[in-house]
Amino acid sequence: MTIDRNMDMILAGVFSDTCDFDVNSTIHNEVSPGYENIFVEKFSICNTSTSAVIAQSACNTYNWNGVTYTTSGNYQTAITNASGCDSLITLMLTISNAPTSSSFTQSACQSYNFNGLTITVSGIYTDTLVNAVGCDSVIILNLTINPPTSSALNLTACQSYIFNGQTFSLSGIYIDTLVNSMGCDSIVSLNLTINPVDASASQTGNLLTANTAGASYQWVNCPSFSFIPGATNQLFTALANGDYSVIVTQSSCTDSSACMTVSGVGFAEQEFDLGFSIIPNPTTGILHIYPKKPFENASISLLDVSGKVLIKMEKFNGPSVNLDISHLAKAVYFIEVFENGRKVRSKIVRN
């Protein structure tokens, strides 16, 4: 072995069989044709060696040059560069053993959007994201889908009905959307029937008439609205001055009329008393009515205290009239005579 002036090393010797003359990782074999052969090999100094540093992070494991690493650290390997010299590679490896997972429970109405996926059925769903250190983050969703609910109401009301703050006075089907106990839509359908009551009344003198036929009636005193016993007909004849109203009930609904004022009743009775006489009064059965002048086309009626007509005689002519009230209960009644456009009344007592 010797060193020349270029500082190259020259090596000489003998070899037999097969010999690898490449000092690098490659193979360069020479085969001896005889028992021993002489060889001379020159080795030059490599002035173009290189190095590099690689920083790498990974989750759980990292494979480098066929080696799997599971621990953070600095790892080196040497390779041959383009000049045939060594190239030292340093791997600065960070292993993050930090995959994460999380789960949450969610309820929704009709559908739910989970990372861009619209879900309409309850169930358990998973998705894999990337966490803050670049590793897998597994998300588990326990989802409950709540459907909307609906209900129908069939209601009957008098005059008007308040449905969720809105007043309806006409029959019809009305729909509103509320929030049910699960926080979803609750659609309520109302089939509403309104039963209006016409409680208006008209007045002709002391004759009061409820304008609605075929209903139930109760005449009352105003303003106390105390019931007048027996005054339950559509027509009511007021026997005393005062204010009156009628309570009308129809289809289970009730309303009352405005109060009407009756006056002048006492004067008519006084006029009758001066022009006619009734014998006997009180009576146990037979009444004799004598006018100052004979009756001419007179209408003579017997009424109870409610104004109900019990006996009526039309177009009567004559000097007197007899009425048999023996079949009536003991009570106060009224004789009413209408003649020549004048109506007068007098009270009698049945003993």
Residue 179: what are its φ and ψ, rounded to 5°?
-115, 125
Domains (range + CATH), the chain: 2-43 (no CATH), 50-96 (no CATH), 100-146 (no CATH), 152-195 (no CATH), 201-262 (no CATH), 265-350 (2.60.40.1220)
Residue given tokens 């097969």 in the structure block: 18
For the purposes of burial, counting CB atoms within 10 Å of the CB of 37, is it exposed (0-12), middle (13-18) or buried (19 or more)? middle
- pLDDT class of 302 with cuts at 50, 70, 90: very high
Residue 274: what are its φ and ψ, rounded to 5°?
-75, -25
Alpha-carbon Rg for the chain, nearest whole angstrom, is 60
21-25, 150-154, 174-178, 267-271: range with lowest mean pLDDT: 267-271
pLDDT digits (tens, 9 = 90+) for 24-49: 555 666 766 666 767 666 666 666 66
pTM tops 0.75, yes or no: no
Indicate the pairing of strand 67-69 with strand 112-114: unpaired
Residue given tokens 């006084």 in the structure block: 270
Distances, alpha carbon 300 to alpha carbons 36, 88, 105, in Å: 171, 140, 89
pLDDT digits (tens, 9 = 90+) for 48-90: 667 888 888 888 788 988 899 888 899 988 877 766 677 888 9
Peptide bond into 280 cis (omega under 30): yes
pLDDT digits (tens, 9 = 90+) for 98-147: 677 889 999 998 899 998 999 999 999 999 888 777 788 889 999 999 88
Contact 114, 144 (CB under 8 A): no
For the purposes of burial, counting CB atoms within 10 Å of the CB of 257, is it exposed (0-12), middle (13-18) or buried (19 or more)? buried
- pLDDT class of 271 with cuts at 50, 70, 90: very low
